[in-house]
Chains A and B, each alone.
Chain A
Amino acid sequence: MKENENMFTLAGVLFVITAIVALLLASVNQLTAQTIQENATKEQEAARMAVLQLAETFEDVPLQLTDDSLVQQVYAGYSGEELVGYCVSVTPNGFGGPISMMVGIRADGSIEAVKIVSMSETPGLGSKAQDPIFSGQFSGKKVTKPIQVIKSGEADQNEIIAVAGATVTSQAITNGVNAAISVVDDLQSGGTQ
């Protein structure tokens, strides 16, 4: 290693190294950006199809939402000309960060299914919310008031049972479902547009 390393040598070497790394990164980005985008789109498509099975095509529904709304996007699902229902993408705040979910609500107002697209909840606890034993509780429910979370016992039509030891996660997902129901309610009564 040289003794008289002046500022210019140091800066110069760092510049060359960073420039080459930047070039390599740009190339890999160029190579992968489209595939990454396609993966994300496919994932959203798959989630929509999973929660509204009879729908064949989806149309984005433009909405006026408040900043603190949990709702990201609403898609109307059609089979031919007939409205099958709505897919609502919501992101409530879970225990370990935002939970990205898709809620399928049929035209008659009942929930068809709830799918968790991504979450970073505690493995073995909050992550169990993805199991059908929990997420399946929402299917078929048609409610007029927000769904409540109970810890044990028999759940009536307006309630669901939380995952044992993961109340925060369970409540977050329920909040997401309630937000979805609320926005579809608004849409159908001609409110949000």
Chain B
Amino acid sequence: MSAIKELTKGIVKENPTFVQLLGMCPTLAVTTSVANGLGMGLSATAVLVASNVVISLLRRFIPNKIRIASYIVVIAGFVSMIEMLLKAYLPEISKSLGLFIPLIVVNCIILARAEAFASKNTVGKSALDGLGMGLGFTMALTLISTIREVLGNGTFLGFSILGKSFQPATMLILPPGAFIILGLLIGLINLIVARKGGKAE
């Protein structure tokens, strides 16, 4: 695949959230506000690119039997570093995302890309793959958060945009709302991709 394709495949065709169905747990939990969704997406992207690069660099060095353990050490290392950097230099975001920063370690997307791609491809391609998947994840989170925050709380990025008389659908901010919105979006996006695929042929 060309370099550009490596980058863009993660955005729609192989979107980690809507197509690969990876990282569902943080997706459901963190998308209660756009700020949280964006913050989490960008942090996860940073870890994803860094870990893809390092694992690709080490791919001939790590024996098969201990590869998962090695990937986890690398990923956890980067997440811990990001957590410390956020706490020190962006404390507001750190407080807002709270427990979900350390949970990036078990975000399936990162381990999946390490195993499926970075361990078998060059550093350059792995970096692009990480960036593309990370951006796709961030866009998915932002989309879901926007729907949940606007309809469930009447605000966008904390700013009240639907006026005082708007009665928010509070359920959307709670877990059931997360499942419902996510399910509807997965159905919608896969429908669009299938239709486009049908027309192209």
Contacts and interface: CB of A to CB of B under 8 A. Distances in A.
A68 B65 CA distance: 48
Chain B interface helix/strand/loop/mixed: helix
B96 to A, nearest CB: 10
B184 to A, nearest CB: 20
Contact of A5 (B64, B85, B95): B64
B88 A125 contact: no
B63 interface: yes
B32 interface: yes
Contacts of A21: 73-74, 76-77
What DSSP secondary structure best describes chain A's contact surface? helix
A17 B88 contact: no
A115 B195 CA distance: 53
Contacts, number: 75
Given A35-B88, A36-B87, 4 more contacts: A1-B63, A39-B88, A120-B99, A125-B170
Interface string B62-77: 1111100110011011
Interface in B60-117: 61-66, 69-70, 73-74, 76-77, 80-81, 84-85, 87-89, 91, 95, 98-99
A39 B87 contact: yes
Contacts of A14: 66, 69-70, 73
**Closest 7 CB pairs between A and B?**
A124-B173, A21-B77, A32-B88, A35-B88, A1-B64, A123-B32, A32-B84
Interface in A15-65: 17-18, 21, 24-25, 28-29, 31-32, 35-36, 39, 43
A36 B84 contact: yes
B63 A36 contact: no
A25 B73 CA distance: 11
Contact of B63 (A10, A31, A125): A10
B16 interface: no
Given A17-B58, A35-B89, A124 B32 contact: yes
Given A21-B73, A124-B168, A125-B170, A13 B153 contact: no
Contact of B174 (A24, A28, A118, A124): A124
11 contacts: A10-B63, A10-B65, A21-B77, A24-B77, A36-B84, A36-B87, A39-B91, A120-B99, A123-B153, A124-B168, A125-B170
